[in-house]
Amino acid sequence: MGMPSTLPLTENYTFQNFVVGPSNSFAHATAMAVANGPGRTSNNPLFIYGGTGLGKTHLMQSIGHYVLKNNPAASVCYITSETFLNEYINALTNNAMPAFRERYRKVDVLLLDDVQFIADKRQFQEEFFNTFSSLMTYQKQVVMTSDVAPKDLKGCEERLTGRFKQGMVVEIEAPSYETRLAILKFKVKMQSAGRVIPEEILKYIAENIRSHVRALEGAISRVITFIDLNPNIPMTLEIVQHLLKDSIEQEKTIKDLTVEDIMKVVTEFYGVTLSDILSPQRTQTLVTPRQVAMFLSVKLTTRSLVEIGRSFGKTHATVYHGAQTIQKRIDVESDLRKVIENLTSQLGRNPSELSK
């Protein structure tokens, strides 16, 4: 790789170790396509976004590992936006800009983590725009991660976010129960060296730790450590409940809302029934409350689109479309925005969560 600045790729961040489920399957398939043909697909740049701990960095580094495995001579550069910015400042301070430019414009694959960090840094954005354009001109692959979609990158020049959207933008969501269980089983296989952890314990963790993959990994590691330190104590559900008490308390503050809670508040406000909302009827008097309930479910619960869809008896695509429709409407309809903010407050949540 030969670049002093390149941060090392994490050894186990590979495609083999990435558990695929409905919440990340599209992002995974796109990343695989990029890894198989870096710079040569319509997925350039690839922009992966989603909340903390959902696997964005894992997926991005998997591309790096795959490219290097299949072409050891390739120049792959993984770097966080913060490190990139610090190097830029050092280069400016030490009059070393030509070397800085040379280094980053010669890579075959640039993996840039946490791109939201460059917001409001105008001069650096200019430099990054030029580096980015140069790499694209020579058909080099650029992959970026961010905690928000390009359109929501506040403090970023429009021409830059415009370029981010030119390739493929994919979202990773919070994993569904089935995926959470699959992740736990995979982690146990990898970490527990033949130790058996009862299924009911894995199910309990999957049911109660919903926010992100990193929280799941932390929970299962704690259980495995306890088994290691207490080989003579049989692992029971009571022990696990005690071990994970704090983590689960923390989760409750995040996920104390259900789709059903939201439907109840929305139906009461609009004077419609639950069966109206769940019916296939598409009259305007029902479409708006239905889509409002979908929008609030996406914004205020940790459920995946697939799980929300299940609650409504609809596909995840319908939920996504409904939520997007409301998002567009509240940008221009102040009355609807007020209604949604009031409903959010009624649900005991802060309206500022809607802009996440």
**Whether residue 108 is found in the same domain as residue 130:** yes
User: Quick one: pLDDT at residue 297?
Assistant: 93
**Whether residue 194 is found in the same domain as residue 182:** yes
In order of 110, 185, 198, 202, the CA distances from 188 in angstroms are 33, 5, 11, 9
The DSSP string of 255-285 is H---HHHHHHHHHHHHT--HHHHHSS---HH
User: Quick one: pLDDT at residue 48?
Assistant: 96
d(CA 23, CA 238): 30
Asked if residue 356 belongs to a domain, the reply is no
> Among 156, 171, 186, which residue terminates a domain?
171
Closest listed residue to residue 6, CA positions, set 84, 67, 73, 62: 84
pLDDT (tens digit per residue) in 159-213 = 999 999 999 999 998 888 899 999 999 988 887 677 788 899 999 999 999 878 8
d(CA 210, CA 255): 8
d(CA 184, CA 219): 9
**Whether residue 136 is found in the same domain as residue 162:** yes
d(CA 76, CA 97): 21
d(CA 81, CA 114): 6
pLDDT (tens digit per residue) in 75-89 = 999 999 989 999 999
Q: Give me the CATH number covering residue 221.
A: 1.10.8.60
- Cα R_g (the chain), whole angstroms: 23
**Whether residue 38 is found in the same domain as residue 161:** yes
Residue 209 belongs to domain spanning: 177-255
d(CA 92, CA 84): 12
Residue 244 binned pLDDT confidence (cut-offs 50, 70, 90):
very high
**Whether residue 19 is found in the same domain as residue 150:** yes
Asked if residue 238 belongs to a domain, the reply is yes
pLDDT (tens digit per residue) in 258-281 = 899 899 999 999 999 999 999 988
Asked if residue 274 belongs to a domain, the reply is yes
Asked if residue 355 belongs to a domain, the reply is no
Asked if residue 61 belongs to a domain, the reply is yes
**Whether residue 68 is found in the same domain as residue 155:** yes
Closest listed residue to residue 305, CA positions, set 96, 25, 10: 25
d(CA 105, CA 135): 6
- Say how many domains are in the chain: 3
**Whether residue 227 is found in the same domain as residue 305:** no
**Whether residue 146 is found in the same domain as residue 62:** yes
Is the pLDDT at 123 greater than 50? The verdict is yes
> Among 171, 193, 210, which residue terminates a domain?
171
> Among 171, 201, 216, which residue terminates a domain?
171
Q: Give me the CATH number covering residue 99.
A: 3.40.50.300
pTM higher than 0.75 = no
